[in-house]
Amino acid sequence: MRSSTCSLLPKTRTPVRIIKCIYVVGFMDLFGVSMIIPLLSHHVKSLGASPTVAGIVGSTYGVLQLFSSTLIGSWSDVVGRRRSLLTCLLLSAFGYGLLGLSSSIALFVLARIPVGLFKHSLSICRALLSDLVSEKERPLVMGHFNAASSVGFILGPVVGGYLAEHEGGFYMSSLVCAAMFLLNAGLVWMLPWREALNQSLDADSREPCSEPKNCSDGTRPIPVPGWGAAALLRPAWKQLSLVVVRIRAVASSDLWDVFLVRLLMAVSIILYYSNFSLAMEERFELRPKVTGYLISYSSMLGALAGCLVGPVTYLYGNDIPALLLHSTVLTCSLIFLYATAPGVWQVVLSSTFFAISTNIGRTCITDLELRRGGAQASGTLIGAGQSVTAVGRVLAPLFSGLAQEFSPCGPPSLGVALSLGAVGLLLIRTPKWESKVKAKDKEH
């Protein structure tokens, strides 16, 4: 085993402890962030910002995320998950701590800059999980990670709302969030990283596994990028050049169809939620309190759906392209049901299955990116996917505003059209993806 040139992590040696710790990191990450998100707009207005200024300030985070996601993801491939994850957690903690001290709009914007640039801890965690497990195990592990993160996102607003009722509640919530990120950094520092390695050799010194026969039992090699000492000692210019090379490789790859599907579905899903509360009030005269219960109900189902990804993938025989197609068709149908719903019960029905279909679809599209792009660039690929989603977050509010000029049902109706485009693209491209997967399986 030690004489092999391949870096393997067999199923019998899957680092279970480190995977469970990463679940905790994901939970605490979104728990802290979700304490702050509902309070941001109110705090900006309390600082004296006009609605226009508040909107511009609010978009700062999204714009920074758009440009930094791919860079940080690629940087994690170059210098290693531990170093990049610690850096992101510590700088995010600094940003949220500074946010807790912000008493002016200028200081508020300054606090959002490090968060916008380095709040990519979840993406790096996903790349790390991709490094640690086999291709067949990946959907199950990713689903559990999404479930743990979603639970944090559900509980966080409750705690944040409780703290906000007290004097200086926003500042207290921000400091608690910063403390959560510091705790996460401490947990990551103490993780049993050696469990994640098959042998304590420099990852950069290992030759890549070019043929299955060089690996025991034909097992897929699990590369652990940048975990050796050489990666940490590279000069900054060398790191930057490697980051650029990886980004160019992804940009020139044949992944445009996967990224386009991600973009179309991201915009469609955001359009579904964009004016949900207002539409419920105008269409069915629901009180905001009842709408809030409905949103919480959908969020809880979304968290539970993360545990269903593994079993559903098993039922599909690990056929991720087919599962992605079917989940996209279901999502499109549910958006249509919501847009044309004559009563509240149809909305409840659509919300029930919408949370499940979107969670499965999100896991599938990430897994498909990694399958087609290669595990060695998992950080770059996941970062690029997050950049595409950030584009959707920028475009969706604009589309939603234009669509609402015509009808309260305008945003979801536009979402139906965009998701139909994604379904059409999948129908065209899925046979090609499946043929590539079958050819790859025959080679192995």
The reply to whether 413 and 393 lie within a common domain is yes
Last residue of a domain, one of 207, 223, 248: 248
pLDDT band at 396 (very low <50, low <70, confident <90, very high): confident
Mark whether 258 and 171 lie in a shared domain.
Answer: no
Q: Are residues 257 and 187 in the same domain?
A: no
Residue 218 lies in a domain: no
Question: Which pLDDT band, with edges at 50, 70 and 90, does 253 fall under?
Answer: confident
* Domain count across the chain: 2
If asked whether residues 156 and 260 sit together in one domain, one would say: no
Are 161 and 294 within one domain? no
Same domain, 241 and 301: no
Residue 83 lies in a domain: yes
Residue 243 sits in the same domain as residue 278: no
pLDDT in the model for residue 197: 52
Establish if 207 belongs to a structural domain.
Answer: no
Is 273's pLDDT higher than 50?
yes
- State which of 209, 225, 248 marks the end of a domain: 248
Judge residue 407's burial from the number of C-beta atoms within 10 Å of its C-beta, 0-12 exposed, 13-18 middle, 19 or more buried: middle
Tell whether 105 is covered by a domain: yes
Find, among 251, 252, 229, 224, the residue nearest to 378 by Cα.
Answer: 224
Q: Is residue 231 part of a domain?
A: no
Highest average pLDDT, of 203-207, 214-218, 301-305, 356-360, comes from: 356-360
* In a domain? residue 306: yes
Q: What is the mean pLDDT of residues 200-226?
A: 37
Lowest mean pLDDT among 16-30, 90-104, 209-223, 360-374: 209-223
For 3, phi and psi rounded to 5 degrees?
-80, -10
Answer yes or no: is 25 within a domain. yes
Structural domain containing residue 375:
253-443
Q: Which is higher by pLDDT, 174 or 241?
A: 174
Give the chain's mean pLDDT: 79
CATH of the domain at 365: 1.20.1250.20
Listed ranges 163-172, 173-182, 281-290, 305-314; the one with the highest mean pLDDT: 173-182
Query: Is residue 177 in some structural domain?
Result: yes
Assess whether 242 and 281 both reside in one domain.
Answer: no
133 within 8 A of 19, measured Cβ to Cβ: yes
